[in-house]
Amino acid sequence: MASLVRFSVSLESGVLKKFDAEIKRRKCPNRSKALTDLIRAMFVKSEWTGVRNVAGVISVVYDHHKRELVSKLLKVQHKFQSTILSTQHIHMTHSDCLEVIITRGKPAYIESLFNELKSIKGIKYTNLSATTTGENI
């Protein structure tokens, strides 16, 4: 474990009250852990503006009864197979499916995959959760 460093932070009292209430609501054990999480989130956001490999999770919700939709989804996924680590297909209702796509690669490439998927006619919802490989935080 890396050595710990103590430092002080000055905040307006109202901001600190809201911060404490939020970390309590999220069941965060203490301010130090909450600040560490915020700082690491900032690092991950910064990673996504660079050219190093990152990780991401793309969620896609769609009606599998839509004509040729599944075929179009697969075509895009095969085009980006070098960045897709894994996919999981979940049946949510009789018609609706959730596909979860785990990715690793350059941010711009993952974003291109995401943009192609969400542009497919018939897709109900897509989301990209930008995360990290963990190497640089």
For residue 74, give the CATH number of its domain: 3.30.70.1150
d(C-alpha 24, C-alpha 77), whole Å? 41
pLDDT at 1 exceeding the cut of 70: no
What is the pairing mode between strands 123-131 and 96-105?
A: unpaired
Tell me the pTM. Answer: 0.87
Q: Is 136 contained in some domain?
A: no
Domain span at residue 99 reads 54-131
Indicate if 37 and 99 belong to the same structural domain. no
Cβ 61 vs Cβ 123: under 8 Å: yes
Q: Is 7 contained in some domain?
A: no
Angle at 57 between CA 65 and CA 49, to 5 degrees: 130
Binned at pLDDT 50, 70 and 90, residue 48 comes out as: very high
* Number of domains the chain contains: 2
Q: Is 19 contained in some domain?
A: yes
pLDDT at 13 exceeding the cut of 80: yes
Note the Cα 89 to chain centre separation in Å.
18
Cβ 38 vs Cβ 116: under 8 Å: no
What Rg do the C-alpha atoms of the chain give, in angstroms?
A: 19
